[in-house]
Structure formats: structure tokens, C-alpha cells
Copies of this chain bind each other. A is one copy, B any other.
Amino acid sequence: MENCVCFNLRWVTRAVTQFFDAELRRHGIRPTQTPILGALAAKPGWSMEELSDWLGMERTTLVRNLRPLERDGLLEITGAGRGGRVSVSISAKGRKDLEKAMPAWRAAQQAVVKTLGEHRWSAILSDLDRAALALNN
């Protein structure tokens, strides 16, 4: 049972997340928030469901994850809310903070990629993506 796929994936993910967090921490941005801001920076006016689909994240999880970013003014949520479609967009501050944190992200990414080499990492991530998609059907 020590070969449990779920357990091993969670273990590696914890290690990688902690590593990214150590780099990003001083910029006040969490590893989970980086891709959220990245998506928002690429396109304005996401609905909650679009964004959660794009990120492959439970919609209700995303709602909670946006709260700290909204509170700190990195993004803005406009629209009706309960019942009506909302529109999530990055703010000027959000864009600036993301920009400032990018070098740290790049450093972490490069350091992790270096452990196995870019070729192997991309093969692994590609396979894992395929596995995850298979499980969703």
C-alpha cells in the first residue's frame, strides 16, 4: 500500500508546492494563486464557471480561493453574484504584483525542471494529464 498512487502524488505535490512557496512567499503570492492571476491576466471578464473549468478546479473551491485575492485588491468581481453571472478580472495592482513575482516563479520552475530534465518532465506531465482526463470520464 506504500505504492498508493494517490498518496505518492500528494507527497510529491506537497514537496513541489512548498518549494514554489519558498520562492514566492516574499512577494506575498501563493503557488495556487499564480496560475489564477495568469489566467486573469490573459483574458478579462471570466465567469466563475469558465475560470474553474480552465483551471480544472472545483467551482466552489475557486470561489474561496478568489477571496484573499479580492480582499487584497489583486482582482475584481463584478456582476450580480448569487444567481447572476459574475465577471472576474485582474486589477492593475494584480497585474503589477504578478509581474513582480514572475522572476521568482521562473526560478522555482527552472529549479524543479532541472531535477529530471525538461524532456522527462514534459513527458511525465503529458502522461499525467492524460491519466487525469481518463478519470474524469
A78 interface residue, CB < 8 Å from B? no
Q: Find out whether the CB atom of A11 lies under 8 angstroms from the CB atom of B105.
A: no
Residues of chain B within 8 A of A116, CB atoms compared: 127, 130-131
A80 interface residue, CB < 8 Å from B? no
Number of copies: 2
How far apart sit A14 and B127, CA to CA, in the bound complex (Å)? 15
- Which of chain A's residues 12-31 have a Cβ closer than 8 Å to chain B? 12-17, 19-20, 31
Residues of chain B within 8 A of A1, CB atoms compared: 34-35, 38, 105
Residues of chain B within 8 A of A121, CB atoms compared: 5
Min CB–CB distance A34 → chain B (angstroms): 7
Residues of chain B within 8 A of A67, CB atoms compared: none
